Amino acid sequence: MKKRFAVLGVVAAATLALAGCTDSAAPSATTEAPAADGGGELTKVRVAALPIAETGALWAAIDEGIFEAHGLDVEVVPAQGGAQAIPALLSGDIDFAIGQPMGPIRAALQDLGVVIISNYASSIADGTDVNSVVASAASGISSPADLAGKRVSVNSIGAAGDLTIRKAVDDAGGDSSTIEFVEVAFPDVQAQLEAGNIDAGWVPDPFRGLIVGAGGTDVISPYQATIPGLTVLTNFTTQEFLDSEPETVAAYVEAMAEAQDFAMANEDLVRAAIAKNLEIPEAAANAITLPVFTSDLNGAGIPELAELAVQYEYIDAVPDLKKLVQPQV
């Protein structure tokens, strides 16, 4: 008798608990049903994107139904970084990836068949750029030349971050070979600066806003200082996918271009998408400096970046850009 009451009690409690449950992953009410006009079926594509603010344009465009209108059912796969995205791309698990260009550049040097098909987001040539090197007020670093001989953090060594920082320091008259680069993830930079373990760190928003707001110094924006308007993220896929599914690639690139135009015209929707997907407060999302969402690879600075990489001995030679960069739009 006691046991039966106990069981009933547990079931009742569980039902009450379930009734009070929320579901953070339930599809939002604004998602439209898949477009049934013009031939019905949507092509499923998996797109690897980092869980960062720049992906806001993609999220906003999916919510708006832009990809569905082009016949694509996009599944955004959160990637931890280029290290996961490119092997997954090569294994066929992912169809497209959005990532920084050094990954495809290195892959091209090994003939892995990675192809950049369009641009995704570029940094800003004039005004506040999307990322900066910041230092604590106590470090006494105020200009790029002061970075010589210091410990500077980047999120991933061997990519555009430390490369452009080196060039910026050399251009300002410092000696970049004396800089000690360490790898610190963006969320940890503030704590490491306060603890004195690093002298300066390269960060995007919202972390830059937090550090400068707490009294830090914005030393330099390395992208703007070396290759103004340098691409932050590009869209890439494999040569194999490009050859076997040209219509899907064309649809994706067109949809992406429309998404980018939409993002530039509807900044508030992009910020709302960022706040929702990254689970950060609206105020933080509003303070982020958004990049320029564009599909144009012409001003993206990829050849300049590759040459800079050769100059600083990050790579042995500039890859075959005709095979690496094949703009589809």
Partner 1 sequence: MTTASAIGAPARARRRGRGASAARKAGLGALGIVLFLAGWQLLAITRVLPPSSLPSATDTLATLGGMLQDLEFWRNVGRTMTAWAIGLAIATVLGVVLGGFVGLIPVLRRATHTTVEFLRPIPSVALIPLAILAFGIQLQAALVIIVFASFWQVFVQVLYGVADIDTVARDTARSYGLSGAERLRWLVLPTALPYLMTGLRLAASVALILAITAEMTIGNPGLGRVIFQAYNIGNITTVYAIVIVTGLLGLVVNLVFRFIERRALAWHQSVRGEEAL
Contact residues: partner 1, CB under 8 A: 17, 20-26, 48, 51-52, 77-80, 83-84, 87-88, 90-94, 185-187, 190-191, 194, 206-207, 210, 278-280
262 within 8 A of 65, measured Cβ to Cβ: no
* Residue 188 vs 296, nearer CB to partner 1: 188
* Residue 219 vs 288, nearer CB to partner 1: 288
Supply the minimum distance, in Å, between the C-beta of residue 21 and partner 1.
5
* Residue 26 vs 317, nearer CB to partner 1: 26
Q: Give CA–CA dist 114/297, Å, rounded.
A: 16
E strands present in 155-269: 180-183, 200-204, 217-220, 231-238
Supply the minimum distance, in Å, between the C-beta of residue 107 and partner 1.
13
* Residue 164 vs 192, nearer CB to partner 1: 192
* Residue 207 vs 236, nearer CB to partner 1: 207
Question: What is the C-alpha end-to-end distance of the chain, expressed in Å?
Answer: 73
Q: How many CB atoms lie within 10 A of CB 159?
A: 22
Supply the minimum distance, in Å, between the C-beta of residue 18 and partner 1.
8
Supply the minimum distance, in Å, between the C-beta of residue 222 and partner 1.
21
Query: Strand pairing partners for 76?
Result: 47
Supply the minimum distance, in Å, between the C-beta of residue 274 and partner 1.
10
Q: How many CB atoms lie within 10 A of CB 29?
A: 5
Run of H or E residues at 107: helix 102-109
Phi, then psi, of 174 in degrees rounded to 5? -85, 175
Provide the residue type at 196 as one letter.
G
69 within 8 A of 255, measured Cβ to Cβ: yes
* Residue 116 vs 203, nearer CB to partner 1: 203
Supply the minimum distance, in Å, between the C-beta of residue 148 and partner 1.
29
| Token pair for 99 | 């990532």
Q: Give CA–CA dist 320/318, Å, rounded.
A: 7
Run of H or E residues at 117: strand 114-122
Query: Given phi > 0 = left and psi -120 to 50 = alpha, else beta, which region is 107?
Result: alpha
DSSP 195-221: HTS-SEEEEETTHHHHHHHTT-EEEE-
Supply the minimum distance, in Å, between the C-beta of residue 155 and partner 1.
10
Supply the minimum distance, in Å, between the C-beta of residue 108 and partner 1.
18
* Residue 26 vs 36, nearer CB to partner 1: 26
Supply the minimum distance, in Å, between the C-beta of residue 195 and partner 1.
8
* Residue 138 vs 191, nearer CB to partner 1: 191
* Residue 51 vs 149, nearer CB to partner 1: 51
CB within 8 Å of 135: residues ≥ 6 apart: 141, 193, 199, 200, 201, 216, 217, 219
Residue 308: strand, helix, or coil: helix
